[in-house]
Structure 1
């Protein structure tokens, strides 16, 4: 009960800070919108071998990957704000409060999840104008998958930020992680186009499972194995990431 109350208090404070400066929500969504407007129209000929002969079919393949991209990159770079709080002494002052150390992490991460879901809704609404069609139940389950990805990546970013304590170290580290993750997840183009050795390597990338699951949901195949496999894989890793990052928070504020 105390954990839930403390988490809610931290979430309220963090969300209030975000609400005072909502421009960051739109800054975060700018690059995916550019992909949606300027890159997606080029894909219909490329995706024709997969049966994407209409705009609706093209966007059902592309938009899920784009949303996963948003959740990955939006979460991985949340640690920069935490480093600023470390430098300002905010985390240090948390030592004298009775707030749960786990809540300090979870409240921040839930704020990030809400922010990224808001951006995902904006992307989806724009894609509807270009012909995307998706069932509401499948869409909500896809948003659950995105929420787990955002929770996982943001907590990992916070944990790493507490370790390195420097933007100069965090930026190249996150970029080094994000680049192969992007290329081996089939976000921009399905891995069906990839050679067999590349698909085997991608099987070790949990985000490729998430992309497959999200695409199955957008295609209306809620019972597809990839949906539950993606939710399970991402859910387990998210729990492990939260536990590890919470320990880093406990070490930093005790």
Structure 2
């Protein structure tokens, strides 16, 4: 229950500035507006192929870089003041992660509405199931972002996180399907949970369930590793 109270506190702060929501959707939105017509018009793929990739891009930008928030809290002593409150450190961490997931859900809904205006005609149950899969994956992604931020510190985290997002995005097959990639690149892509999530999203948007089970298992394992690791790092006295 405490985690939900913490999440509600952070969400109130976040939604006071609607620019945060809009800014998060800007980059995927620009791909949708400028890359989408070329992508679909050239026969490379359809909106059902492109939009799931843009959802992955949004998740990586929103939750993969959320560690910036805790970097500033750590620098200015906010984190240490929170640690002496009655709230458990696990609740403080989970509250942050839940806030990130809710923010991502709102941004994803905005992106899907924009995509529908451009021509996306996906299965509604498939989109709902796909969003649920992305949100669960985002919980683990946000947790690992906090791990990286607390481990690397305020000097190393920004360049490392900013650099890591690009290869993860490309390996996920978000912008172009990885089936035609060289064998070594395809293997590297299969080693990440993000590739399986993107493939499952494309299946779900098309009204299919192909590859969904594999993605669910991958995301569950990802979360099972990320959340305990983040809890341990977040609970360290000298973190």
- Cross-structure match for 2:230: 245
- Cross-structure match for 1:234: 219
Aligned pairs, number: 239
Instruction: Return the alpha-carbon distance in structure 2 between the equivalents of residues 136 and 252 of structure 1.
Output: 46
- Cross-structure match for 1:206: 193
Q: Does residue 170 of structure 1 match 2:157?
A: yes
- Cross-structure match for 1:195: 182
> Any unmatched runs of 5+ in structure 2?
none
Instruction: Return the alpha-carbon distance in structure 2 between the equivalents of residues 35 and 98 of structure 1.
Output: 45
Instruction: Return the alpha-carbon distance in structure 1 between the equivalents of residues 53 and 66 of structure 2.
Output: 20
Q: CA deviation at 1:165?
A: 2.4
Equivalent in 81, 86, 93 of residue 98 of structure 1: 86
- Cross-structure match for 1:34: 30
Equivalent in 195, 219, 229 of residue 206 of structure 2: 219
- Cross-structure match for 1:25: 21
Instruction: Return the alpha-carbon distance in structure 1 between the equivalents of residues 23 and 234 of structure 2.
Output: 28
- Cross-structure match for 2:62: 74
Equivalent in 114, 129, 140 of residue 126 of structure 1: 114
What's the C-alpha RMSD, in Å, of the aligned pairs?
1.6
Which 4+ stretches in 1 moved above 3 angstroms? 45-48
Q: CA deviation at 1:45?
A: 4.9
Instruction: Return the alpha-carbon distance in structure 1 between the equivalents of residues 99 and 217 of structure 2.
Output: 23
Equivalent in 86, 108, 133 of residue 74 of structure 2: 86
- Cross-structure match for 2:139: 151
Q: CA deviation at 1:177?
A: 2.1
Q: CA deviation at 1:46?
A: 4.5
Asked if structure 2 preserves the Cα contact closer than 8 Å seen for 1:72 and 1:149, the reply is no
SS in 2 for 1:165: helix
Q: So what's the TM-score if we normalise by structure 2?
A: 0.94
Q: Deviations over 1:35-78 (max 9, x none)?
A: 00000111135545xxx5xxxxx100100011011111211111
Instruction: Return the alpha-carbon distance in structure 2 between the equivalents of residues 252 and 121 of structure 1.
Output: 38
Greater shift in the superposed pair: 144-153 or 107-116: 144-153
Asked if structure 1 preserves the Cα contact closer than 8 Å seen for 2:137 and 2:222, the reply is no
Asked if structure 2 preserves the Cα contact closer than 8 Å seen for 1:28 and 1:74, the reply is yes
Instruction: Return the alpha-carbon distance in structure 2 between the equivalents of residues 81 and 91 of structure 1.
Output: 10
Equivalent in 2, 5, 10 of residue 6 of structure 2: 10
Q: CA deviation at 1:202?
A: 1.6
Q: So what's the TM-score if we normalise by structure 1?
A: 0.89
Q: CA deviation at 1:174?
A: 0.9
SS in 2 for 1:77: coil
